[in-house]
Amino acid sequence: MTPSDTYTWLRSLNPPLDRYAGTLSRNGFETTFSMGLIEDEHTLSGIGIWMEDAERIMANLAGPRSLVAQWEPFLSHIPVQRISITEFLLMTPVPHLATHVPSFKAHGFDHISCFKNMDSKDLALMPSIPFGHKLAIARIAMAASTDCFTKLPSIDIDLGTWLAHLSPPMHKYESTLLLLTRKPAISIIELLQVSKADVMKLPMLLGHRKTLWHYIARERIHWLE
C-alpha cells in the first residue's frame, strides 16, 4: 500500500465512509499513514464519528497499519546529518507536517537532533497541531536515524569547545550550566555527573534541554560507566 489521502481510502470501503473525510482531515488524519496510527475506536468517536462507523473504520485499518510498518525502515535511512527538519519532513509520507516547524522551533526543537528527542508529551505543549499530526510526528521522530547526533571528541577539552561540538551547538549555554554546580566553573566530568532532573530545570528551551541530556547520558556511559 502506498501513501494516499484518507478521502480516497474511505471511498474504497464497502460501503464507503467518505462522509467523514472532512472530520478526519480537520483532526490531522488526512493521510493513510496517520490513519494507521489510530489505536482504538474511541479516538475516532472522540472527534465526532459514530461509534458503529468508528468500529468499521478500525476493522479496515490493516492496510494503513502495514504502510506505517513499511515506512519506518525507510525513515531510519534518510541521511539527516546535513538537512533541516523541514527538508527531512518533506521526505516523509506526511510532508505537510513541515508546516509545524515554527511550533517546533518555539519550543527549542530547531535542529534534527532536537526533533529526534521530541515525544507526545512535548507535542501536548503545542495546541495548534492537530492530534493526527501529533501521532505522525511522534512516530516519525522515533523512527528517524540516530546519525543526527554528533560523535563527540574526548572529554579532555574545555567545556565551551565540547558544547560547540554538539548538534546543535550549545556553547551559548556555558554560563547557564554554572547553575548546576553553583561554582565559578564546571568541567565536562562534573557535567556528566548531573541528574536529568537538574538539567530539565535549566532556563533553556525544552528541546535544547532534552538534547543536552541525551548527550550527557550517552557520554556518561562511554566515559564514566
Query: pLDDT tens digits, residue range 140-157?
Result: 999 999 888 888 878 888
223: confidence class by pLDDT, cuts 50, 70, 90: confident
- Range 89-109 average pLDDT: 96
Q: Is the pLDDT of residue 72 over 70?
A: yes
- 8 Å CB contact between 31 and 94: yes
- Range 48-61 average pLDDT: 97
Taking residue 20's Cβ as centre, other Cβ atoms within 10 Å add up to: 21
- Percentage of the chain modeled with pLDDT above 70: 98
Residue 135: which residues within 8 A CB-CB, separation 6 or more? 28, 34, 37, 38, 120
Per-residue pLDDT, 90: 96
Residue 49: which residues within 8 A CB-CB, separation 6 or more? 20, 23, 24, 57
- Range 3-28 average pLDDT: 93
Per-residue pLDDT, 2: 54
Going by the DSSP 8-state scheme, the letter that residue 91 receives in this structure is: T
- Percentage of the chain modeled with pLDDT above 90: 86
- Range 91-112 average pLDDT: 96
pLDDT tens sequence across 172-219: 999 999 999 888 888 999 999 999 999 999 999 999 999 999 999 999
Residue 24's nearest CA partner among 3, 45, 39, 40 is: 45
pLDDT, mean over the chain? 94
Q: Which residues pair with 5 in a beta bridge?
A: 31
Q: Is the pLDDT of residue 25 over 80?
A: yes
Determine if the peptide bond prior to 168 is cis (ω within 30°). Answer: yes
Q: Is the pLDDT of residue 100 over 90?
A: yes
Burial of 218 (0-12, 13-18, 19+ CB in 10 A): middle
- Is this model's pTM higher than 0.85 or not? yes
